[in-house]
Amino acid sequence: PARSGWFQELGTSECHFINGTEKVRFIERHVYNRELYAMFDSDVGHYVGFTPWGEKAAQHWNSNPAILEYNRGEVDTYCRYNYELSTPFLVER
């Protein structure tokens, strides 16, 4: 079969807020061709792989303390920070 040569790599980050900033969860997802292959969840504290490639990628990322420290800190530096900036615009409308 002929192959088109097209593929899609997607990385997303999202924040989940419960009761304002009392409970904040940061999630980073890695998707290849619509298949979730790895994910970081701040509640878990490390990457989890969902495919053979994702398990290798997760193992690589988890072996780097700087990457884990950075992602664990995103709860404050990315989520809470942007919540504080956005709240006046979101709540008043």
Render pLDDT for 20-58 as a digit per residue (tens, 0 to 9).
Answer: 778 899 999 999 999 999 999 999 999 999 999 999 999
Give every strand in the sheet of 23-32, ordered side by side. 9-18, 23-32, 35-41, 46-49
- Whether pTM > 0.85 for this model: the answer is no
Q: Over range 52-73, report the average pLDDT.
A: 97
SS3 13: strand
Confidence of residue 5 (pLDDT cuts 50, 70, 90): confident
Q: What is the mean pLDDT of the chain?
A: 89
Q: Does domain 9-91 have CATH number 3.10.320.10?
A: yes
How many Å is the Cα radius of gyration of the chain? 16
Cα–Cα dist 25/80, whole Å: 10
Q: Domain residues of the chain, as ranges?
A: 9-91
| Between residues 86 and 9, the one the model is more confident about | 9
Long-range own/partner contacts, residues 51-60 (CB < 8 A, 24 or more apart): 54/30, 57/30
